[in-house]
Chains A and B, each alone.
Chain A
């Protein structure tokens, strides 16, 4: 999974490339920029199109320190990005794409 994180409004730990893998990493050929509204404000990141939805959710949860045991869904407008084991490219999203990360819950 290739990923570059840029967050606004919240602190972000940016992944760093080591000297070793700097020499072996090539520029991404197929990536997508995601702008995700989350329970802790906007998150921006660039992901490989082969990244699974579940990996995107985990990345946002970890980066923004959302509750680890909490469940979230990723949505593009009224389309839920599921099953979450599917890669981003299978959803044919625009680039960049504006998504929402919504806490799973139910009305009662």
Chain B
């Protein structure tokens, strides 16, 4: 039986899935606490992510860039750059991404953020406190700020 926290996450996942269907994104559950998401970039290429929810919402999700053909994570050819979110370190730079925390991932630009802190209270989080809200931001950045893949000069 699901507890209250798990039910809340299932609700968030259902909201995200419904948005994906409406917007033409790809979405797939790949496990109890993980899913993949694909959004269209402004050059009409697809950006894919694999997201791990273990520990969510106590800690933020881990949004990894995904090679959808091999399942490899964080490959430079599948990692976008552009704007403030698609960071040149290869991770989405926002308090709602676990990988932005230096203590979690060496690529994380933020040694000043504590993963055990209240990420929802970080001023940079704003109202991006649901999975659907985070995905909407990623999709918008892909459509407006995306410049290139990390492997491209």
Interfacial residues, chain A to chain B (CB-CB below 8 A): 8-10, 35, 37-42, 66-67, 70-72, 75, 77-78, 98, 100-108
Contacts and interface: CB of A to CB of B under 8 A. Distances in A.
> What interface size band does chain B fall in?
35 or more
A103 B127 contact: yes
B130 A40 contact: yes
Q: Do most interface residues of chain B lie in helix, strand or loop, or is the interface mixed?
A: mixed
Interface string B114-128: 000000000011111
B94 A105 contact: yes
B85 interface: yes
Nearest to B110: A108
B16 to A, nearest CB: 8
B87 interface: yes
Contacts of B128: 39, 103, 105
Interface stretch (B17-25, B28-36, B46-54): B17-25
